[in-house]
Structures are given as C-alpha cells and as structure tokens.
Amino acid sequence: MTSSNAASSPDPTVQPVPASVVQQVDAADSTLQNPQRAVISLGSNLGNRLETLQGAIDALEDTPGVRVKAVSPVYETEPWGVEPGTQPSYFNAVVIVKTTLPPASLLERAHAIEEAFHRARDTRWGPRTIDVDIVAYQGVVSDDPALTLPHPRAHERAFVLVPWHDVDPGAEVAGHGPVAGLLTAVGAQGVIARPDLTLVLPD
C-alpha cells in the first residue's frame, strides 16, 4: 500500500491515507505473508486437566490463521506463586504455533479459549480449568500490560521453561537469555514428567 495525496488526485472524493495507517496495513500484509512463531503455555489444575489441555490445543488449531507445530510432553507441577498445599497440582505443557494473527488477536483468541473452558478470573493465581499465556511472539518485546512480551514471568517459571526446552532446546527469552541457562538457574523442582499421559498434535 502507498499513501495517496488528495491534492494530486483527480478524484476529489479520495481522501489522503495517513502514513500511520499505511504502516499498519503494510505490517498486517507482511504478517499475512510470513507466519510468525509464537510460544504458548497451557496450564490446568481444575476438572479433567488432560482433556482440557487437549481441548485448548484443538481450539488453537481450529483458529483461522493459527497452526500448531509442536506440542510438549505433559508435566504435573506444584502450583507456583501460592502457599504450598492450597491448590491442586497443575498439568502444564507448551505449544509452538505459526500464526498470521497479530499478537493482540492471538491474545483475544487465548482469552476466548479460556472462556470456552469456563475459566474463572476471580483470584490472581487462583485455581483454573485452563490458562493460555503467550510466552513469546517471534522476537517481539513489549511492556504493554495488556500483552507483555515475552511473558513477564516466563523466565522464572520452571513449569514453562521445562516443556519449552523440550520442544525448542535452543530457545531464548528476549532480555533474559537461553531457556537452557534459565532452567539451570531456576531448577526443575516440582515439575514432574508424566510420560503416561500424552497430548496429540492435531492433524
């Protein structure tokens, strides 16, 4: 797209397109042609945790403009950020997607999936049927509170780093360094592999 100038146009109904709009449209066009790689963390500690994680993966795959490329093993994890013994354990996993959706639309879809699984939002870090967090979106760095990228606490959460490292051992958290090194620093206590349980990459 190029900006047009009403003064030089023979048609007086043609309005000039502001440069900022041209930039946004160009950025959207380029994303449409180049799917971006995003890392999504899934967690569940209420209800049928495995079924819900698989349901969220299937819902991501059913999203126009999203393709699930990799699904990590399942881990049973101690609830992070709350008093020990106050919540059921979580099942956690990480998926890699390729997407033509911009970050804000991917977050909207994440929230829609949480709603579809009746996730309650009453308490910070409260128990939930499903949590869908955007851990990283390509190399985007943003401090927008509505969508902070990379996720502001991913680098200190073993329940994110362990499955992320499984699906992408060379991954880096922008501003924090390689996932492998972060994992060494944080440790994997409270993150137990569940090889008896598997999540399926949709066809």
Q: Which region among 2-10, 16-24, 53-61, 71-79 touches ligand PH2 (by CB under 6 A)?
A: 71-79
Applying CB under 6 A, what is the total number of residues that bind ligand ATP? 13
Closer to ligand ATP at the Cβ: 22 or 147?
A: 147
Binding mask 21-60 for ligand PH2 (x = CB under 6 A): ----------------------x-----------------
- When asked if residue 77 is in the footprint of ligand PH2 (CB under 6 A), the reply is yes
Q: Are 179 and 168 in contact (CB under 8 A)?
A: yes
**Cβ-proximal residues to 150 (8 Å cutoff; 6+ apart), any chain:** 135, 136, 141, 173, 174, 175, 176
190-196 CB contacts, 8 Å cutoff, 24+ apart: 190/77, 190/78, 190/80, 190/158, 190/159, 191/75, 191/77, 191/78, 191/92, 191/158, 191/159, 191/162, 192/75, 192/76, 192/77, 193/73, 193/74, 193/75, 194/73, 194/74, 194/75, 194/76, 194/91, 195/73
148 is a site residue for ligand ATP (CB under 6 A): yes
Interface pick for ligand ATP out of 121, 175, 187, 192 (rule CB under 6 A): 121
Instruction: Select the residue interacting with ligand ATP from 36, 131, 163, 171 (CB under 6 A).
Output: 131
Shorter beta-carbon distance to ligand ATP: residue 22 or 140 = 140
Q: Could you say whether residue 146 binds ligand ATP (CB under 6 A)?
A: yes
Size of the site for ligand PH2 (CB under 6 A): 12
Three-point CA angle 19, 23, 28, nearest 5°:
150
| Window 182-201: residues binding ligand ATP (CB under 6 A) | none
134 makes contact with ligand ATP (CB under 6 A): yes
**Cβ–Cβ under 8 Å, residues 50 and 197:** yes
Q: Which of residues 68-107 bind ligand ATP (CB under 6 A)?
A: 107
Which residues sit opposite 86 in a β-bridge?
none
Stretch that binds ligand ATP, among 26-34, 61-69, 126-134, 168-176 (CB under 6 A): 126-134
Residues that bind ligand PH2 (CB under 6 A): 43, 77-81, 90, 92, 125, 131, 133, 159
